[in-house]
Structure 1
Amino acid sequence: MKKRDAGSDQDGSDQDDVQYATVTHSRSRPVETAGDASSGAPDHDDDVQYATVRTGRKPDVVIRSDQQEELQVTLKFWVIDPVPKQDPPDLTTVAGYSGRVEYLVDKINHFTLKLSNVMKKDEHKYCFRVLTDVEGQKWMGTPGIKLRVTELHVESTGEVTEGESAVLTCKTTCSLTDPTFIWYKDGRPLTTEMIQKNQQLHLQTVSSEDAGSYSCAVRGSEHLPSTAQTLRVRHPPKSVSVSISPSGGIVEGSSVTLTCSSDGDPPVEIYTWFKEGGDSPVGSGQSFSIISITVNHTGLYYCEAQNAVGVQKGSVMIGVQSRWMKKRAAGSEGTGSNQAAQARSTDDTYEALDPQTL
């Protein structure tokens, strides 16, 4: 429990984000210990006073209650949502409040709760609790204060297919006068090229580049942005490429593995392999292996990547060096290394082709 003089909180030195809700009790009402026949003051919703704040990055809300000490006070603290005939825990010990609760004491016996970094889940009834040196003499400040928290939030379909349009809406329950909304994508302000209408963001002909996290804020309160909403863009496979292992020259009799890679949303589910000139697939799966390769395997191979949205292809040319050519190249090493290098360059074909030419 942290205490400090709260006198400065009344002279306007608080941050602009701090809002106060004050309830004063002229009489403290006793609450009997658990198991006793009597109970504390009845909790009627009509008696509840409300305090509303807007959440953002780090706003604070301060709730004050006057407490008149007639007995020797041994402990005082704040609680949330008290239940009759049960001893509620000190708010500083409640999970989720650690590091955000501060108790302030001033010279006129105000005992203040300061709650930092207010969140939507902080919506509760807050009551002041006093324990004394007399057995059974416990007090609960009723009816307490019910905190309601409002915030900006982004509404969207959450998912759209490439080529379609999307509309995102910035909503709030706050009463705003002719507000101007600012939009962010992945934490960065959007350019003026984006079409904005009132509190809506219109994305025309969506592409995969539009996928990301979107948030909004009201101009003048940019430090209180909404929570981010993720927009997913479904698109067919892109950047399909084929790699060969092992790399370098391919010699007849060796084994070769082709691997297909792509970027798609949803991820690629089906990979099919073809060789140019053939109508039937030669393999399936993300990898395709040729065991004991021969010169007859020379040719153009391409991978067809498919997901739920579409299909795209990638290709590679395989050139196989025959054993006879390898022996000839080895024999010519004695006549000059330049000639051997020229032979290897001529017989070893390995290049990647543009899928659009298929």
Structure 2
Amino acid sequence: MNYIQQEICSLNGSTVFINGTFTHPEHLIVKQRIWVIDPVRNKEPPDLKTASNFSGRVEYFIDEQNNFALKLSNIMKEDEHEYCFRVLTDVEGQRWMRTPGIKLRVTELHVESPGEVTEGESAVLTCKTTCSLTDPTFIWYKDGRPLTTEMIQKNQQLHLQTVSSEDAGSYSCAVRGSEHLPSTAQTLRVRHPPKNVSVSISPSGGIVEGSSVTLTCSSDGDPPVEIYTWFKDGGDSPVGSGHSYVPLQSGFYYCQAQNQHGDQRSAAVPVNINGETLDYID
């Protein structure tokens, strides 16, 4: 008897084939060919097909050249055993089993991520396994969608050369051919200065002369923006602070959003409280 592999590493939930070949003396008739696990010396091992925890998941294959195989479906961590092929003949005492057998190891995919990076830095994500899969091709996903070939992938790693805020999201990996068995997703956070800073006016309809109006500053930033500063008519001296601002005079107002990584100003918006014509000069 010869086993083609000595150890097999497979993904949790996948199907695995354990293979080998055997020959026997021509005067003997093979009566039974079975697979067993974790054999113990001087103890007759049970047929794997009779084990309740393998029920419905085991198939045996053999051809005319005495190539044999075990197909084990939907493997799980509890299937990590030593698998041996056993041949019984029509002559008492003429039975064989090759030991050591084939060790099955079961792994899941896990993404190792830096967790968070600052915009402009590089980041490396790794698709980790607890044992070595056979010639795997790794596939990467961001927010559940396959990444384009423009992304730099090396073996089990995904390299983000210059990270931008658009790279923030949930990353997972899979092995080609077993795309239905992806890793759990890991979130990559990208710290960056405020972006898309804008001012909204409330009420949004026309302003009744003499009534009050509220300006609200919105932005994208990570960490979230905490410092909002208001300016009027292109001046450099602040006229107010806070997420919202109530102007008392007509003019062109803009806000500046700031976090620890930088700041950005919005476009100016006109506020006409007294009904006069506004003419903005930057």
Q: Please state which band the TM-score falls in when normalised by the shorter chain.
A: 0.5 to 0.7
* Structure-1 separation of matches of 2:144 and 2:210: 55
TM-score normalised to the size of structure 1? 0.50
**Aligned partner of 2:269: which letter?**
V
Q: Is the 8 A contact 2:193 2:259 kept in 1?
A: yes
Deviations along 1:47-82, one digit per CA (max 9) or x if unpaired, are: xxxxxxxxxxxxxxxx96979xxxxxxxxx99xxxx
Q: Does 1:173 align with 2:125?
A: no
Q: 261-270 vs 251-260, which deviates more? A: 251-260
Relative distance call for 1:182 and 1:348 in structure 2 (3 A) is same
- Aligned partners of 1:64 and 1:285: how far apart in 2? 71
Bigger proportion of residues as strand: 2
CA shift, 1:115, in A, is 11
* Contact persistence 1:274–1:303 (CA under 8 A): yes
* Cα deviation digits, residues 148-184 of structure 1 (max 9, x gap): 7521111121111111111111111222233221111
Q: Which amino acid aligns with 2:119?
A: E
Distance 2:180 2:274 in 1: 66
Q: Distance in 1 between matches of 2:206 and 2:14?
A: 70
Shift of 1:193: 0.7
Aligned partners of 1:103, 1:123: CA distance in 2, in Å? 12
Larger helix fraction of residues:
1
Give per-residue Cα distances to partners, 1:272-309, cap 9 Å, x unaligned.
1111254432211100013xx4xxx2222111111121
The 5 A counterparts of 1:62-211 are 118=76, 149-211=106-168
Separation of aligned partners in 1, 2:73 and 2:152 = 38
**Following the alignment from structure 2 to structure 1, what is the Cα–Cα distance between the partners of residues 162 and 208?**
49
For residues 111 and 250 of structure 2, what CA distance do their matches in structure 1 show?
55
Q: Any idea what SS the aligned residue of 2:246 has?
A: strand
Provide the TM-score with structure 2 as the length reference: 0.62
**8 Å contact from structure 2 (residues 14, 74) kept in 1:** no
In structure 2, C-alpha distance between the alignment counterparts of 1:176 and 1:148, rounded to whole Å: 10
SS state of the match for residue 168, structure 1?
strand
Other-structure match for 2:15? 17
Match of 2:179 in 1: 222
Residue matched to 1:32: none
Q: Please say if residues 164 and 205 of structure 1, whose CA atoms lie closer than 8 Å, have aligned partners that are also in contact.
A: yes
SS at match of 1:209: helix
Distance 1:276 1:117 in 2: 69
Match of 1:285 among 242, 245, 257: 242
- The amino acid that maps onto 1:199 is Q
- Contact 1:23–1:65, Cα closer than 8 Å, also in 2: no
For residue 316 of structure 1, the aligned residue among 269, 276, 279 is 269
Q: Give yes or no for contact 1:249–1:321 (8 Å, CA) kept in 2.
A: no
Does residue 258 of the first structure (1) align with residue 218 of the second (2)? Answer: no
Are the equivalent residues in 2 in contact too, given 1:160–1:232 (CA < 8 A)? Answer: yes
Given that 1:181 and 1:218 are in contact with CA atoms closer than 8 Å, whether structure 2 keeps it comes out as yes
